[in-house]
Each structure stands twice: as C-alpha cells, then as structure tokens.
Homo-oligomer: A and B are copies of this chain.
Amino acid sequence: MDTRISLLESAERAVRERGYNGFSYADLAREIGIRKASIHYHFPTKANLGSAMIERYSARFFGSLADIAETGQSAADQLRAYIQVYRDALATGTQVCLCVSLSASRDSLSSEMLDRLNRFHEDSVAWLTQLFDRAAQDKSIANLAPADREANAALALVEGAQLLARARKDVAPFDQALATLTARLASPPLH
C-alpha cells in the first residue's frame, strides 16, 4: 500500500483519540510496521505531518459538506446530515473531529497548522451561515435567530457535544446535547 497514506490515517486516528501530544513517531512505526526513522522520509518533521493531516481531513470534511449542499434538500435535512457527519466521526465515542482535538492542544501546533485550523472553523461557520440563510427562506427550522449567530452556536454545540461524548466514551451524550436543536427541525425523514 501507500506508506504515506497509511501514516496519515494512523496519525489522524491517534490525534482524534489521544490529542496532538498523545502520539509519537514510534507509535506510528509500530502500527504500520516500519521503523520510525523511515517516517522522516515521508514527513521530515512532526509539524509537516500535522499540516498534511489537517489538509487531508479538511478536504474530506468539506467534500462531504459540498455533497450535502448539492442535494438541494431543505435546510432542516441538510442540518440533519451535517449533525450526522459529526456523529459518525465519533465512531463509538472513541474519536472526536480532528479540529476539536487540535483546538484543545493549540499551543503545541506550528503556525501553519494553526492557520489551517482557523480556516477550518471559518469555512465551517460560512457553510452553516448559508444553511441558516436558506432556513430563513424555506422555514424548515423553527425559532430562527440571525444566520451568523445560529451558525456559530451550531458549530460550538456539535464540537462541545463531541467532547462530552468523548469524556464518557459513549455517543449518548452527543445525542442528548443535540436534542434541542434537532427538535427545531421540520418534517424528519423516515427511518
């Protein structure tokens, strides 16, 4: 297989489970079956690896959001899909969104990683603001505040809910924390 990809996958899981300071080149080497010195061929420094990791994660994440937007569903259905992305990312309560994890260990990040992290949050708020603008038109979400406020609140809510679920190692706290928001969404799809 592609060693570079394996390294990125392994590192991402580690960060999402244990934080940026919670994994080492030795861990990665053990997991994918090469020597730790070999990792430096692919990523000279840990900061290089970290940057590539956020870049890859962001591309995947915002690709999913683009797919959701392209469906042309109601704002309520799109928000449901957005919440599901965060719920899926929890796995069984063992992992959080990469950027939730990195936010907590901010002071250990390189400036390039920080830039990418900030862009992730900016792009998230922008995507959500568009969603809530749409909601103001299609009326599929109840009790609407201004779109930018709703966007910031929704982002904080899903990230905070992931944190609670992570602490318990269980998805239930995530669902409980999101219940007030999902209750405002019109006409849920059949399951």
Measuring CB to CB, which residues of chain A are less than 8 angstroms from any residue of chain B?
17-22, 96, 99-108, 117-118, 121, 143, 145, 148-150, 152-153, 155-161, 163-164, 166-169, 173, 176-181, 183
Contact = CB atoms under 8 A, between A and B. Distances in A.
Contacts of A166: 103-104, 106
Binding site of A, secondary structure by majority: helix, strand, loop or mixed? helix
A104 B105 contact: yes
How many copies of this chain does the complex contain?
A: 2
A106 B152 contact: no
A161 B167 contact: no
Given A22-B105, A156-B161, 16 more contacts: A19-B19, A19-B108, A22-B108, A96-B104, A99-B167, A103-B163, A103-B167, A121-B167, A121-B173, A149-B179, A149-B183, A152-B179, A153-B157, A153-B181, A155-B160, A157-B157
Nearest to A19: B105
A145 B180 contact: yes
A104 B168 contact: no
A105 B17 CA distance: 8
